């Protein structure tokens, strides 16, 4: 097939007598193969867990069901803050969450301080390859929001979630509106 393609591209086989054309064609083909392999390797290396938000618009106090999906081949570990709550029709409901919540103000993203300061427990959770965890929550604030998440590669159920985020990776959900 390669030789047939060369004949089609070059119009004839006479160009093969000129070593300059042969060298150029061989180098061009080699470079294209290298670029294709680099693109495949970059795609495979760039895979990360994903945060999925089912809709792009929500009303204030409406339940948002954010899901962390691990479609990579290794486990990942992240920290969940237990002790967080949301209001639902005047009642308090527990909404443990691993996410930060950020709102866009102009061209900047600002992080909300929505975690309880006292009594909050942060615990490491391992998400195995091919699995997902869902975290429903509600927001009172309005605006363009997104959910950052810090995670570590590998299974580390004994991770100290109160320590500095050394070695953590970050993923961010797509933005969504709360009206």
Q: What is the CATH number of the domain that holds 108?
A: 2.60.40
| 154 and 66 housed in the same domain | yes
**Which range of residues forms the domain containing residue 143?**
50-178
pLDDT value for 121:
84
User: 61 and 40, same structural domain?
Assistant: no
- What digits encode the pLDDT tens for the residues 66-93? 999 999 899 999 999 888 788 788 888 8
Q: Are residues 37 and 58 in the same domain?
A: no
Residue 51's SS3 state is strand
The reply to whether 9 and 83 lie within a common domain is no
**Domains: count for the chain:** 2
The confidence score (pLDDT) of residue 135 equals 95
In order, the DSSP letters of 70-104 are: --SSS-EEEEEEES-EEEETTEEEE--B----EEE
Do 84 and 15 belong together in one domain?
no
Comparing C-alpha atoms, which of 26, 123, 27 is closest to residue 78?
123
Report phi then psi at 158, rounded to 5. -95, 15
Last residue of a domain, one of 11, 27, 45: 45
Same domain, 118 and 56: yes
- Residue 33: predicted pLDDT: 73
Give percent of the chain above pLDDT 70: 73
178, pLDDT greater than 60: yes
Same domain, 79 and 24: no
Let me know whether 29 and 89 are in one domain.
no
Q: CA-to-CA distance for 51 and 68, rounded, in angstroms? A: 5
pLDDT confidence of residue 179: 95
């Amino acid at each position: 097939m390669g030789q047939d393609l060369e004949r089609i591209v070059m119009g004839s086989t006479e160009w093969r007598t000129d070593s300059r054309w042969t060298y150029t064609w061989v180098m061009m083909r080699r470079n294209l193969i290298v670029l294709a392999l680099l693109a495949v390797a970059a795609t495979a290396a760039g895979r990360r867990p994903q945060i999925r938000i089912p809709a792009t618009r929500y009303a204030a106090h409406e339940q948002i069901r954010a899901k962390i999906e691990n479609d990579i081949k290794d486990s990942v570990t992240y920290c969940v803050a237990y002790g967080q709550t949301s209001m639902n029709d005047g009642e308090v409901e527990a909404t443990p969450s691993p996410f930060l919540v950020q709102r866009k103000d102009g061209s900047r993203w600002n992080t909300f301080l929505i975690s309880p300061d006292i009594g909050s427990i942060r615990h490491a959770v391992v998400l195995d390859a091919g699995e997902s965890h869902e975290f429903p929550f509600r927001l009172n604030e309005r605006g363009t929001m997104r959910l950052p998440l810090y995670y570590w590669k590998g299974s580390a159920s004994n991770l100290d979630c109160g320590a500095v985020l050394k070695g953590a990776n970050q993923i961010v959900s797509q933005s969504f509106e709360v009206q």
